[in-house]
Amino acid sequence: MAILVVGGAGYIGSHAARALRRSGYEAVIYDNLSTGFRRLAQGFELVEGDIADEVRLRPVLARVDAVMHFAAHAYVGESVENPRKYFRNNVAGALSLLNSALDAGIRRFVFSSSCAVYGVPEKIPISEHTPRAPVNPYGASKLFFENALEAYGRAYGLCSVSLRYFNAAGGDEGGEIGEMHDPETHLIPLALAASAENGPELQVFGADYPTPDGTCVRDYIHVNDLADAHVRALQYLEKQHRERSRDEKGGDSLAVNLGTGRGHSVLEIIQAAENATGRPVRRTMGLRRPGDPPALVADPAKAQRVLGWAAQRNLADVVSSAWRWMEKTAQRHAA
């Protein structure tokens, strides 16, 4: 079975492509390399193109059975400053991809959604029953697409899974691939970089939140746990597809949280980074960033119940794998 991994030259997509291959699927990567990297797609067929390019997509979609859609702009702050860019890619571009997939006869679709669809939730942990009320254009773009998938399920028989990731982190245990964002805004790589001799200082945004140590709490999920969840989602869709084509029923749209169910504060992450590197993380304590919720922690029970998935790796695994990847990258640059 062949899967089109759209955005597969990016951080999470490249890990998912490898997980698919390990599970016996053929993965074809489709990416415009806007924030992705050719080297993350190494060893896979890479078709360069934009999600909005129907002509480029048509022959590729004709030879796959399902689509996994990772491609998006994903900086919350930038989405506030430049919503047009976000709605163009994450909504208009994504809809164009969805229509191309549908026209090619594809009925199985996995989407990278985000805990950003929940906005600032009243209750932690966050279950899928929590109202979806995004507080920035990035989250709104993800919610729009989730709604489109639901409507396409009802109207056109599409079977989809929206995976609402919490904070993806870490790298492949083999050290061959890992997190690559430019600019990097994610806490773990920034904390690790701040422990290097000449690295930039880590800026901590707010130490007066109503959390145990005053810093923000997030649910950090290992990227390979996320990747494995994509394989489970595909297996779920295969089952739906078989049962539905037999009974001639309509489509189906499932949305699940992907997190560990455990929150870690910024100070805990700093401690974990210091444990991994053996060096202090240089930091300055700054003011809160507008729009940052104090705590975002998943209730992952539905993913366990419906997909049979639960995170296997803990924070130490996340941080040590991220550190191994950073060290390897530094060695490669030095060579």
| Pairing mode, strands 264-265 and 217-218 | antiparallel
Per-residue x/- mask for ligand NAD, residues 96 to 125, rule CB under 6 A?
----------------x-x-----------
Residue range at the interface with ligand NAD (CB under 6 A); choices 10-18, 150-158, 205-213, 307-315? 10-18
| Pairing mode, strands 26-31 and 45-48 | parallel
Residues 138, 165, 209, 220: which is the catalytic one? Answer: 138
Q: Which two tokens stand for residue 296?
A: 């975002």
Site for ligand NAD in 301-320 (CB under 6 A): none
Closer residue to ligand NAD in complex, CB, 7/263: 7
Does the footprint of ligand NAD cover residue 10 (CB under 6 A)? yes
Closer residue to ligand NAD in complex, CB, 202/298: 298
Q: Is 118 a catalytic site residue? A: no
Q: Which two tokens stand for residue 113?
A: 């959604």
Does the footprint of ligand NAD cover residue 9 (CB under 6 A)? yes
Does the footprint of ligand NAD cover residue 251 (CB under 6 A)? no
Q: What is the DSSP letter of 117?
A: G
Closer residue to ligand NAD in complex, CB, 31/241: 31
Choose among 125, 162, 130, 166: nearest CA to 147.
Answer: 162
CB within 8 Å of 87: residues ≥ 6 apart? 137, 141
Buried b (16+ CB within 10 A) or exposed e, 252-289: bbbbbbbbbbbbbbbbbbbbbbbebbeeebbbeeeeee
Residue range at the interface with ligand NAD (CB under 6 A); choices 9-17, 98-106, 124-132, 293-301? 9-17
Residues that bind ligand NAD (CB under 6 A): 7, 9-13, 31-36, 50-51, 70-72, 74, 89, 93, 112, 114, 165, 167-168, 181
